[in-house]
Amino acid sequence: MAITYHYADQYRSKLRTPEQAAKVVKSGDWIDIGMGAGFPALMDAAIAKRRDELFNVKVRGYLIFEPIQMVECDPTRTHFLYNSWHMSGYERKLSDRGLCSFSPMVFRNLGSYYTNYLTVNVAMMAVTPMNSHGYFNFSVANASARATLDKADIVILEVNENLPWVYGGQDECIHISDVDFIVEGEHKPLPSLSATQASEAEQTIAEYVVQHMTHGATLQLGIGSLPNAVGQVLARSDLRDLGVHTEMLCDSYLELYRAGIVTNRKKELDRNKSVFGLALGSPDLYEWVRENPGVVTYPVSYCNRPRIVSQFSNFVSINNCIGIDLYGQICAETNGFRQISGTGGQLDFLDAAARSPGGKAFICMTSSFTDKQGNVHSRISPTLKPGDIVTDPRSLAFYVVTEYGGVNLMGCTTWQRAERLISIAHPMFRDELIAAAEKQGIWIRSNKR
């Protein structure tokens, strides 16, 4: 269908080159850039060219997978100061170089941060080409897009010809009447996120989790090799009629759909539809979501909201972590003072699963890891080490799983938590963990050794 003359005229009047649009940025501004596949590469490059005339421009983004020119061109952070809500591998390396600061958040509330608290002078993101009704689609980068653009003084859309149009239930589009400038240009293929090969221990963990799932459960998988391993084991299981309600859609869900395991028939909300907030994966994943009525996007204020998610019976959340202490405090985002990722939606889904009738939340990890010097360390420790951030408080800890089994910490006393966690620790560390628990006053005589 052809674009109507009225919208085509508006489009032409707002069309600029990236260099022209970049002129609206002023020293001291707060800029927000689209996340993931919504990253506006052309605008980023055009603003970076203005480096020497701009100072103290604050930039916010998250889960960016390609070089950010505004950051790379300014190693002293004199001109551009980049901040991430949730770090990708690339942003983690920027942080290691001192070029990326972290912004703590709970994902379900990110939109409300913009609505109620933050200043956005210029917001820019990549979107699909405009349709005949004057709408642009946020594609696989919905998440917090609309809330960010609504708060901005100036909205710049970068049309990315590679982005698939994704149907949605809420805030998946923006109309040309709400846009200040539009830029066009050629783009590289969308960022592809390959699944990491699971280890033997991770496969064992995945098998434990799948054994504790039921037919008709609604599923959320986090980021990483462990959740991917669960998806692979699920694809080989005899479970049926699973539903999808997740923050991030990845290739594991496509694998489950192809295996006939995901049908969404039993969901209490959004029946017959897989729901997600953002998608990162292979080209096949992006083609699966393209104009697919069975896969729809919502903002994370809906996807991650516990009062929404808790309406699903047997909701299952599967995420990983870096470590846990004997009290049940879970660290999933830092290694000491080094920022690894972020809270994201893990806390949201832990809370939601606890409210869901028959719900379960699994935090998965290998029992130990080996450092670069070849030293083996336990992921279960007496207390979190200095710098470790508590992603999930002990009051919300649910199932914790290693290759040595799984334990449910919900409602447990401190001495029960210590006993149960030590039972799934690597055997070489159990005696020293017991000794530490005794010293900390959370071990009693009746506990099993």
Chain segment 46-88, per-residue pLDDT in tens: 999 999 999 999 999 999 999 999 999 999 999 999 999 999 9
Report residue 255 as tokens.
Answer: 């694998």
Specify if 193 maps to a domain: no
Q: Which residues pair with 406 in a beta bridge?
A: 401
**pLDDT at residue 314 is higher than 80:** yes
Picking from 136, 151, 183, the residue at the C-terminal end of a domain is 183
pLDDT over 70 for what percent of the chain? Answer: 99
**Do 209 and 286 share a domain, yes or no?**
yes
Specify if 322 maps to a domain: yes
The single-letter code of the amino acid at 107 is F
**Do 217 and 256 share a domain, yes or no?**
yes
Average pLDDT score over residue span 236-257:
95
We report the CATH number of the domain holding residue 178 as 3.40.1080.10
For 114-126, the pLDDT digits (tens) are 999 999 999 999 9
**Do 35 and 67 share a domain, yes or no?**
yes
Cβ-defined contacts of 99-107 (< 8 Å, 24+): 99/71, 99/75, 100/71, 102/339, 102/342, 103/60, 104/342, 104/343, 105/342, 105/343, 106/343, 106/347, 106/348, 107/247, 107/300, 107/304, 107/343, 107/344, 107/345, 107/348
**Do 253 and 401 share a domain, yes or no?**
yes
Which domain covers residue 401, as residue numbers? Answer: 200-439
For 6-27, the pLDDT digits (tens) are 899 999 999 999 999 999 999 9
For this structure, is 247 an active site residue? yes
Specify if 77 maps to a domain: yes
pLDDT band at 335, cuts 50/70/90? very high
Average pLDDT score over residue span 373-389:
97
**Do 17 and 159 share a domain, yes or no?**
yes
Strands 181-183 vs 15-16: parallel, antiparallel or unpaired: parallel
**Tally of structural domains, the chain:** 2
In terms of Cβ atoms closer than 10 Å to its own Cβ (0-12, 13-18, 19+), residue 34 is buried
What pLDDT, on a 0 to 100 scale, did the predictor assign at position 1? Answer: 52
Q: Among the options 158, 172, 247, 403, which is catalytic?
A: 247
We report the CATH number of the domain holding residue 392 as 3.40.1080.20
**Do 357 and 228 share a domain, yes or no?**
yes
Specify if 444 maps to a domain: no
**Do 316 and 284 share a domain, yes or no?**
yes
